[in-house]
Structure 1
Amino acid sequence: MTLPESVVTRAEQLRTEIEQHSYRYYVLDEPSVPDAEYDRLFNELKALEAEYPELVSEDSPTQRVGKKPDSGFAEVRHEQPMLSLDNAFSDDEMATFVRRARERLGLSSDAPLAIVSEPKLDGLAVSLLYEQGRLVRAATRGDGYTGEDITLNVRTLPSVPLRLLSEGWPRLLEVRGEIYMPRAGFERLNEQARDAGEKTFVNPRNAAAGSLRQLDPAVTARRPLEFCCYSTGVVADGELPGSHIERLQQLNRWGLKINPEMRRVDGLEGCRESYRSLADKRDQLPYDIDGIVFKLDRLDQQEALGYVARAPRWAIAHKFPAQEEITRLKAVEFQVGRTGAITPVARLEPVFVGGVTVSNATLHNMDEIARLDVHAGDWVTVRRAGDVIPQIVQVLKERRDGTEQNISIPSSCPVCGSDVERTRLIKRGKGREQVSEGSIYRCVGRLSCRAQLTQALIHFVSRKAMDIDGLGEKNIEQLVERGLIKSPADLYRLRVEDLFELDGFAQVSAEKLYSAIASSRRVELARFIYALGIPEVGEGTARTLALQLGSLARLRQALPLLLTWLPDIGLEVGHEIHNFMQDEHNCQVMDALLAQGIELQQEADIAAALQGAISLPMLLQRLDIPGVAKTGATALADHFQSLEPLLQADAEALEPVAKLSKKARSGLLQKLAEPDWCEQARALEQQLKAFGMHWQCEGPSDTGSTQPLAGQTWVLTGTLETMTRDEAKDRLLALGAKVSGSVSGKTQCVVAGPGAGSKLNKATELGIEVLDEDAFVNQLQAWEKA
């Protein structure tokens, strides 16, 4: 039979393209297309070869697993091949897999069939070889037969035991698993790279692969990698259970990590339920997965089914909808946010990704556009994970045809026409101030810009801010368009008849909204601070400011350096807060709100932990004198006893100060010669006294009774029935606790309501105290009454 020329040509095109993508993915660790695109090409080639068997050749991508390893590492020959898995993309394909397994095993359609469900981690497959319980070799999967020796790098991973726990392990034991990078670690790594002006990683899988293939193990050690085992390879002189899941549980007892989401299910219905359940919680997992791996649990059944050329017949990967796709960037538009920030938004040719159709994506800022080197008209890779705003992660530059256009920031605001200016970054350290250009451009129109006013008001009335029910985005837009609101304070000047005129409002609904606005006058201090929309101040920071400073008056006065003594507030955020509070327009807005009857609730004294807590050495260290660290600050404080004599000192007065280095003397004299610095020091001390934080002020009489959870970290998980999670968080914070979103060895206690999942499992594994809701409420009431 003569093969059609078009078929031969298409097969050759597919092989060439797949090989190129494989090279970039496996060898260079620089994937050029999303996994979904690769899968489509691969399946098209498989279908052609199935229809025309004469096309199949030994060097076809369908007849091997991957590319050969890079020559930068020594080669390792796998005693047993590390084969890949066939994929299922639909429920019908899963049904076919289960049906064929039953038929080949001679089982009836209703006979039990134990199958293990495991999340398909998006990382790098590796093999760990243990001899007499000690790790002797680690290797990548490579092409399935030959991998790379990465032992020195893998030894740096805390989740890989260098010696197995307990006893009873075989003399030779090969453990196979996935090394991956959790999402939080990936974000931190990319943030560090952006700050350093370095290339960022496209996704966590790419980051994990790049980290493992570093020639310097010290670099790998600094990367947030984890290992999770999913099977065994060679086993010699010893026995393991005949069940896949029990085998992994045994490995877990020997000190190897297994996935807590792993389950044993029965037949097709069990697989379907597992798929639905994990798909629902996919976006809440701390790591990326792209599907579920289903394996027959009994090893004798696995052996009976055997293998095809590339994959085992007893396992399959049921893929989730792709989270990355390719589309074209049609244009870039610029939006104005509530702080005036001008944000570029990509307008895309619609593409189905992550379960929804996407036509817009964030580009963050102009620095991100420059980093990606993106142009209007480019073909781009778009990523969407759950509720995360879709973003462009890669430009396919090889597809450019010369019609693409550069993207430039507008010189005037697209909403109000005011000037657009670039923000400045001020880095302070070692007694110096460095000014550089920031990544954000802002419209200078403030509330005269309708976009800023509208967005500021939407934030002001939101649930976690002033919480004015019924005042949605469309209603605010109407109020702004009709000129009824030009400032947040104008909300409290509205009359019922003003609201009655809005589209969709009648007498009853207008009176109801009027009542909601009126009742919002009584508001917690933390909510009010958050409602103001201070740059860099989110819900958590607003709560910290309220709990620590205790009043709006102190916040309005607080100097940047003083703010740095508050938990989790750095100097840059301190300057943002101070600048906002000193801005004349913002002062007018706050004064107008208070004049309209805003009553701040839960105002109090400054936090007990800050009362009389700032010593003279601590003050001197905050003043950032070149060469003066803790030892030098203590020596100066011991010698001068107070600030003013030190500010009057000269070189001769500094001579007798013990333990003060020559560098410190020089740095201090330099500062003492600057009148502005001396005045800054005096102003800071005066504010410490005014706030009650100065070392001469009286300390708290009993810090334990007011902050019983000070220094503790708590985690909330599941659904609470007697209160919202936000209310529970607020009450814990008021007692001094820090509320975290993840469980770690530093966690003091986990509160678990119905529906608690992986966080509860991890707490149990780590032996952390767990309270149900009744016990939690009782404990809260006891602390709050004390």
Structure 2
Amino acid sequence: VAGKPLDKFIKIEHKIRMLSLNDVFSEEELYEWEKRSLKLLNLAKPAIRNRERADLTKFNYFCEVKFDGLAVSLIYEKGKFVRGATRGDGFVGEDITQNLRTIKSIPLTLMSKTVFDIPDYIEIRGEVLMSKKTLIRLNLVNDKNGKPLFANSRNAAAGSLRQLDPQLASERELDFFAYDIAETSNEKSLLNHSDKHKYLKKLGFQIGEDEAICKNLKEVINFINKFEKIRPGFSYGTDGVVISVDDLKLQEILGVVGKAPRYMAAFKYPAEKATTIVKDIKINVGRTGVLTPLAIFEPTLVAGSTVSKATLHNMDQIERLDLRIGDTVVIEKAGDVIPKVVEVLTRMRIGKEKKFKMVEKCPVCEGIVEKKYIGNFQSSYSKGPRISGAPNPGQTISHRTLEISDKSSVAYYCINSKCSAKNERYLDHFISVFEIYELGPKILRRFKDEGLITDAADVFTLKKEDIAPLERFGEKSAENIIKEIELKKKIPFSKFLFALGILHVGEETARDLAISFGTLDKLINSDIEKINEIENIGGAVSKSVFNYFRDKSNLNFIEKLLKNGVVIEKAEKNKKGKLSGMIFVLTGTLFQMSRELAKEKIIYFGGKVSSFVSKNTSYVVRGEEENHLSSKLKNAQKSGIKIISEKEFLNMLQ
């Protein structure tokens, strides 16, 4: 039953992080994944030899279909559905409980079975989907009413769940398939991932019918090949097969790295390919000013839709492909979504093809184009003065050298700060991160053309009387826009940093910076060494962040945002700060928990994690198999930094 329309979606923090999956694209990559898993399990043997399991390297795999929908989390208490949320960034999603209640395949009350009791608490993960038939029907209605068509069922499902009025969501005929249990008070009965699926089915959830327990990768590959044959006629969009180590104890040992679990992999089927002719190569100007070549080709049907362009990323890619205007090329849709040029059919050349040369002026503003080295900057110790400007090989920055490795590539940038294309892309990015959904790119262009805004900060000074008189807006539309802008003025520190569009700073890096510094003032006043100490942040990133906050125009923009009402939420400091003020460096493999979990524990208890040893390091945590002295251990001994075992580290967390 649909409830009342909402004013906004409330943010909700996930008790357990919602992870993504690492992809594999071939049998060879699948065997490499298994090899890495076995290596980690072999390393773990000495630390858990007294446990029940004798051989850690003999186990089953569990295979299931990977649906292409929107991941959500459902929480049940005493058998009643109480809350549901989107994945969001994995840590924080949006409360969409009302919309989820309209989906018939989501039980509002769990079924009772004799073998399993209804748990007091259970958190279920699954995928919200729209069937292919429903998508066709919805697009026919939209086309008739002059509304935009959905590109695929995944976008349609996501758009439906983002409706503030649950009545609209209920009309979209969405479906839900459960695939995991994140946490339950009845977990003792669950020994394997396959047990979770059996339990989900007993509780009344819909799960994928195509699944199997496999003894080895040969059986896994047979499952993959079998499903590939029936996949085209499947009722729902799918984008591969998920392979899991079935034993939950082994999953715990393998742990998580970055955003993804080591004990799971998503096999992606080879993309459908087609041939076409490149008619032109145009330049797209990005939000940082980067110039990206774009292949324009004859409209071609591939993987169910017609495409006519594909990004070529950079000049290196053009040179690797030896791509020329007029070439016949092979294109595919990466992940069945994004068009990509994968091969040039040089044998089909007729001699009239033209080599592409990067422009010397920005195609939009005719500003100066600058060539920059990007990519793999390696950090190493060196003594020397602090420098300014872009780093060159061998130059030193605050006692750390930035060296460009052989794998670095070249990018071209429009350096005109007033470039309209660059500023438009940046504005789109900024508003998207602030999640002001009422302001799409077309509306933002309109507001700029009408003189209502000149930059992103001006958005927060808009008034209803500015917008209402504009053609095709009116009082109600203007009121909705202003209402959403007001609601979105408050933003977490990490998202604010991401919105700023600092070169090399994505969502993960922004989160690392926010957790490490806590406030904007502390980050602005920090030196480059402090930034460089953060785990996963190298020299190129720290240099970019440091330089950004030395630029007066950037500081003026931030000041304008704050003056116009933007409120930056301080990064949450942990109440349990037993590790406050301590900086840890991890080396070697930990057995009781994954390195990723160890990092999260350190941060949770108020500490920080660094990727290298410095005078500020408090402890170096040594993995059990580190019998030789790694560079981190040598530096720790040389500097008199205390080296502790994993057991000592765990005792600190008690």
- TM-score with structure 2 setting the length: 0.50
- TM-score with structure 1 setting the length: 0.42
Please state which structure has a larger fraction of its residues in strand: 2
- The structure whose Rg is larger is 1
Please state which structure has a larger fraction of its residues in helix: 1
